[in-house]
Structure 1
Amino acid sequence: MRADLDRTELADFLRRCRARLEPADVGLTAGSRRRTPGLRREEVAQLTGASVDHYTRLEQSRGSRPSRQMLSALARALRLGEDERDHLFHLAGEEPPRDRLGPTQHVRPGLLMVLDRLHDAPAQIFSDRGEVLAQNAMAVALVGETRPGHNVVRSWFTDPSTRTLFPPEDHETHSRIHVAQLRAVSAARPDDAQLGALVRELREGSVEFEALWTEHRVALRRAERKRFLHPVVGLLDLECEVLLSAACGQSLVIHTARPGSEAHEGLKLLRVVGVQEFGQRVK
């Protein structure tokens, strides 16, 4: 049974967490005319994907019970540590997430801080099951905005539109990398129910996945080159650096280009295009 929602304490906690962060702490530009320290309500709403009205109601002790998805989004947006994340869930009358057999969905604040400071390189944080946990503005400009928890392995084998971001001649390589990564993680965590369900779903629903799975190739994702077909910038041949955090089953994937190269110029253009599109989206 869920506990009661403590609207007053929840509102106070949200206000205080918001006030202690500056825009630069979450990868945003400060802009002008800031009369008080901390993030603005509309900035927190932007980071969570919620409406400004919905978030404002939470801070004014008159909102409805936030969903578990919203609570997780708030924990990421406000850069909460695990204890603070649990406290947020308790105030909302919810049991904090417990995922002892698999990677936690809660990204460490320090890892998010690194992500926020990568202004000129597309970067995303993934679980080792292939779930997108966070992405910076450049990653949104490169691959589109992805809801937290979206699984890139599932979409690769079940949604053909996912592959339009990559040259056709690279598709087989991407497929093999996805399956080999999932094979390695499955062997390391045979009791991970979510991982087991994902593998069963893909083996039953994708002929390609099943064929590659039976080959039994195993490899964790490491540094590599990756080519993207962006609808505005065109072909981008990028270096893909993978920073692993074995303790929490997460990785920070960063795409860069050698200074002076065509890809480097393409990333600079992508940054401008991304900022323009973002500005149009939030108006």
Structure 2
Amino acid sequence: MDRRELAAFLRGRRERITPADVGLPAGSRRRTPGLRREEVAQLAFISTEYYTRLEQARAPHPSREVLAQIARALRLSDAERDHLHHLAGTPPGPPPGPSREVRQSIVDLLHRLPQAAAIVMSATYEVIAWNALAAALMEDFSALPRRDRNLVRRAFLEPWRGGTRLYSVSDADEFARTAAQHLRGAAARYPGDPELTALIDELLAGSAEFAALWAAHDVAARPTLCKTFDHPLVGLVTVNCDVLDITDRDQRVVIYTAAPGSPSEEALRLLSVVGTQRMTVPG
């Protein structure tokens, strides 16, 4: 345990977080940059005295549980969390669960792609960020509860609409198989995550198809490079599908683009104007 380096690291991380970042009032008499020690201790559910001793390089060895609580309170990234554990002389265990926090630079990237529909998916296929065109092409994710933003749940458990599956996309069956294989890998990376375990149990109980795919223990998946959406307003939209891995957060950016000059490009342009104002047609 490197007490001095641990103390300096904790002070540096604490001073960079504003009260507003964690939902605390700033107050008018605040003299320290960032959070106060007692505020970090409160957020981490540990005593102020013990946290103060950690920052003064006088505390005994913290447990793995205390380190996890401090990491959450200080909003550490995965790399910072691992560094905290190494400084404390406790090698980090597996990440507690898939990250749902999207870097601001990635969010900015999505919105700088006005002619492309783009989403960010977590390791469990939850859509955790999207741009306006993705909402128009697929669904207004902001109007959905969080559980309904999970595409693997939607693929296997949602009743098929008009005999089609998951936004009437051409590769829906292949997507479902790929998602099951990726979820098998995520389960191995996050064995202690209760939310992921509950999702898998729900899929096994509710879908015989998923249960059969899960029993196969396949983990390799072939990427889909092109797919066609059957949109209720603009009809068929064929797009190229490119996936960018965000390895440090176990996330993927999925970007849908149409061939220049194609009818699908025109359809995307129309959707960029219409947005999510009218996602169903009477019939």
TM-score range, shorter chain: 0.5 to 0.7
Residue 128 (structure 1) aligned with residue 123 (structure 2): yes
Structure 1: stretches of 5+ with no match in the other structure:
1-82, 279-283
- 2:98–2:250 contact (8 Å) kept in structure 1: yes
1:173 aligns with 174
Give the CA RMSD over aligned residues. Answer: 2.9
Give the deviation of 1:232 after TM superposition. Answer: 0.9
- 1:125–1:252 contact (8 Å) kept in structure 2: yes
1:137 aligns with 132
Distance in 2 (CA, whole Å) between partners of 1:87 and 1:160 is: 42
Superposition pairs of residues 144-223 of structure 1, within 5 angstroms? 144-147=139-142, 149=146, 150-161=149-160, 163=165, 165-167=167-169, 170-219=171-220, 222=223
Distance in 2 (CA, whole Å) between partners of 1:85 and 1:229 is: 46
Opposite residue 210 of structure 1, the aligned amino acid is: A
TM-score, normalization: structure 2? 0.61
Distance in 2 (CA, whole Å) between partners of 1:86 and 1:176 is: 44
- Secondary structure, in 3 states, of the residue corresponding to 1:190? coil
- Secondary structure, in 3 states, of the residue corresponding to 1:216? coil
- Secondary structure, in 3 states, of the residue corresponding to 1:144? coil
Opposite residue 270 of structure 1, the aligned amino acid is: L
2:273 aligns with 272
Q: Which has more helix, going by share of residues?
A: 1
Residue 119 (structure 1) aligned with residue 114 (structure 2): yes
Deviations 1:62-96 (A, max 9, x none): xxxxxxxxxxxxxxxxxxxxx65885225179945
Distance in 1 (CA, whole Å) between partners of 2:276 and 2:196 is: 36
Superposition pairs of residues 1-283 of structure 1, within 5 angstroms? 84=17, 88-91=21-24, 95=43, 100-147=95-142, 149=146, 150-161=149-160, 163=165, 165-167=167-169, 170-219=171-220, 222=223, 224-274=225-275
| CA pair 164-222 structure 1, distance change in 2 beyond 3 A | closer
Opposite residue 184 of structure 1, the aligned amino acid is: G
Distance in 1 (CA, whole Å) between partners of 2:276 and 2:168 is: 22
Deviations 1:29-52 (A, max 9, x none): xxxxxxxxxxxxxxxxxxxxxxxx
- 1:228–1:235 contact (8 Å) kept in structure 2: yes
Distance in 2 (CA, whole Å) between partners of 1:187 and 1:225 is: 29
Distance in 1 (CA, whole Å) between partners of 2:246 and 2:18 is: 20
Q: How many pairs are equivalent?
A: 195
Deviations 1:232-252 (A, max 9, x none): 110111111111111011111
Give the deviation of 1:274 after TM superposition. Answer: 1.6
| CA pair 222-89 structure 1, distance change in 2 beyond 3 A | farther
Opposite residue 166 of structure 1, the aligned amino acid is: S
Distance in 2 (CA, whole Å) between partners of 1:205 and 1:183 is: 17
Opposite residue 243 of structure 1, the aligned amino acid is: L
Opposite residue 158 of structure 1, the aligned amino acid is: L
Distance in 2 (CA, whole Å) between partners of 1:103 and 1:173 is: 23
- 2:98–2:190 contact (8 Å) kept in structure 1: no
Give the deviation of 1:203 after TM superposition. Answer: 0.7
- 2:154–2:166 contact (8 Å) kept in structure 1: no
Give the deviation of 1:268 after TM superposition. Answer: 1.7
| Identical aligned residues as a percent | 39
| Structure whose CA Rg is larger | 2
Opposite residue 199 of structure 1, the aligned amino acid is: I
